[in-house]
A and B are shown apart, each in its own frame.
Chain A
Amino acid sequence: MQSSLPGKAQATLREVLPRLVLSPSLFLILLFVYGFIIYTGYLSLTDSRMLPSYELEGFGNYANLWGQRNWLIALQNLAIFGILYIAICSVLGLVLAILLDQKIRGEGILRPIYLYPMALSFIVTGTAWKWFLDPGLGLENTMHLWGWESFTFNWIKDRDMAIYTVVIAAVWQSSGFVMAMFLAGLRGIDNEILKAAQMDGASRWSLYTRIVIPQLRPVFLSAFVVLAHLAIKAYDLVIALTNGGPGRATELPATFMYSYTFTRNQMGVGASSAVIMLAMIASIIVPYLYSELRERR
């Protein structure tokens, strides 16, 4: 920041102005993101209930949290939901992208149709799917009316199966997006390599499994990171689709945090669950961002 040049004032202004322009945003981020993270972290170590209390009491909330059956259910649901959501979206996205990449006539119509759910609010998606999956009104009823009397599909009312309906709706919403990521990746592959391999008599199957799919590794990684962080944050869809039910069957960490903090007056426990959620996301995002930013320079 020091300059011994003449016209010092002007030079200083030149140097300071860009930082000055950046500072309001930096201030907002530091306060509302990092300051708030620290604040919530602090609350998680206090005995806050309905209102914040600043009396430190150690890790009691965390011990309490891990003793809560609801929290364990939420984590188990997140594991089921997260794994299936990421796996199905990736496979479906990849398959659709490969199929669409076969010089398809009408790709310009199909692609936007696959992708439009991503533009919708999860509340809208939840409203539509709640109905579609309702045994009395939706798919089951339709099948009965079409003459398939024995057809049953009542997962949304079934404690053991309800979490899978969240997967169904979430996959519907996000898989087109993953398709678009893979399609962009496929279009970026160097054709010379493929032609050479084809010349060498590689079959189509081995062309894809040996050359194309390995080259898509960065896309798999990006898709994984995006989907994993969406899964951990999942809130709106569950609220609209099942509202956490039946019972607590579709509780997720995000719904757990909300209900403990704002309706059950256990703010300390709610704060500690939020800290765990942040830790989960950070463990995925930080290494990813770090490697991305390093590669650039």
Chain B
Amino acid sequence: MSRSTQPSFGTGKLLRAALYAVLILFAVYYLLPLFVMLVNSVKTLDEIRGGNMMSFPEMFTFEPWLTAWSKAQIGVEPTGLSPYFINSIMMVVPAVAISTALGALNGYVLTKWRFPGDKIIFGLMLFACFIPFQIVLIPMARVLGMIGLAGTTSGLVLVHVVYGLGFTTLFFRNYYAAFPDELIKAAKMDGAGFWRTFTRILLPSSGPIIVVTVIWQFTNIWNDFLFGASFADFDSMPMTVALNNLVSSSTGVKEYNVHFAGAVLAALPTLIVYVVSGRYFVRGLMAGAVKG
């Protein structure tokens, strides 16, 4: 995004101050829920019940975080969220890697090795990005059962690869479409084949789009709830499903501070990625809206 050269509203100082006030007010609005979660995750339960959600803790405690991580009752055993955090990682890493690699190859073929009907194939893949997943839940459950992947992390990896393919292909296709065809032609002239052209010419300059795609896939798969809730069992449950179980079905006393610590734990990986590489995250979102 280039710097603004739009005509600006305020020359008047007062108007300018009002403008900043409004903008800061909105920043507060967006930050407030995160603030509430963080502040209340380090309070004791008594203080939460009796006190104000906006106030800082009188007695700082790290106990809720420890409970959320390793002691809270989620399944049968009081294991905390840590095993599910690991489940999510075991699911996300291969799913992101495979779907990104396939997307890169698809994008390469669809732009540089075009053949009759390739646009229809791309259209089919593109539409697949937007389907409501309710339409595939029933057959997917049966297929996973048939191939012996029901309730496993591998099954979830398969699901996320399949339904991420459309987006990864879209990202790479749009990126490679802008890559000069002359360079490809020259390489082909020099006798470089399909793979060499890809690994020597395209791949070295694919850094930015790989980052965009990896971040997009990571965020989507980490945050997925529907597939996790539908296809995982207790041993393969991802973090989002475990968090929902913790928050909604804990019997007895509702430990709000533990819930918040858990919610922040579930949000942490994607938040860190966002803070570290927000620029690429935004690019992915934009590309996801098709307009590049």
Contact = CB atoms under 8 A, between A and B. Distances in A.
A293 B230 CA distance: 34
B135 A37 contact: yes
Contacts, number: 285
A85 interface: no
Tell me the interface secondary structure of chain B in the complex: helix
A289 B270 contact: no
The contact size tier of chain B is 35 or more
Contacts of A22: 105-106, 109-110, 121
Contacts of B248: 240, 243
A222 B135 contact: no
Interface in B105-156: 105-106, 108-110, 113, 115, 119, 121-128, 130-140, 142-143
A217 to B, nearest CB: 12
B243 A32 contact: no
Given A37-B131, A40-B135, A102-B8, A124 B243 contact: yes
B271 interface: yes
Contacts of A154: none
B22 interface: yes
Interface residues of A, number: 109
A137 B49 CA distance: 7
Contacts of B133: 233
Contacts of B143: 32
A137 B169 CA distance: 46
Interface in B90-111: 102, 105-106, 108-110
Contacts of A281: 130-132
A275 interface: yes
Interface in A99-119: 99-104, 110, 112-119
Query: Could you tell me the dominant secondary structure of chain A's interface residues?
Result: helix
A277 B256 contact: no
A257 interface: yes
Interface in A65-101: 96, 99-101
A36 B140 contact: yes
A45 interface: no
B62 interface: no
B8 A229 contact: no
A184 to B, nearest CB: 6
A124 B261 CA distance: 11
Given A37-B136, A254-B132, A273-B134, A127 B243 contact: yes
Contact of A258 (B8, B134, B275, B278): B134
A102 B243 contact: no
Nearest to A38: B139
A124 B265 CA distance: 10
A6 interface: no
A138 to B, nearest CB: 6
Interface stretch (B28-36, B74-82, B205-213): B28-36
B113 A116 contact: no
Contacts of A9: none
A28 B169 CA distance: 13
B130 A128 contact: no
Contact of A32 (B115, B136, B273): B136
Contacts of A223: 289
The 8 closest A-B pairs by CB, nearest first: A18-B113, A121-B223, A119-B274, A128-B33, A236-B225, A274-B134, A36-B136, A36-B139
Given A229-B130, A261-B137, 6 more contacts: A26-B125, A52-B142, A115-B282, A254-B132, A275-B135, A282-B127
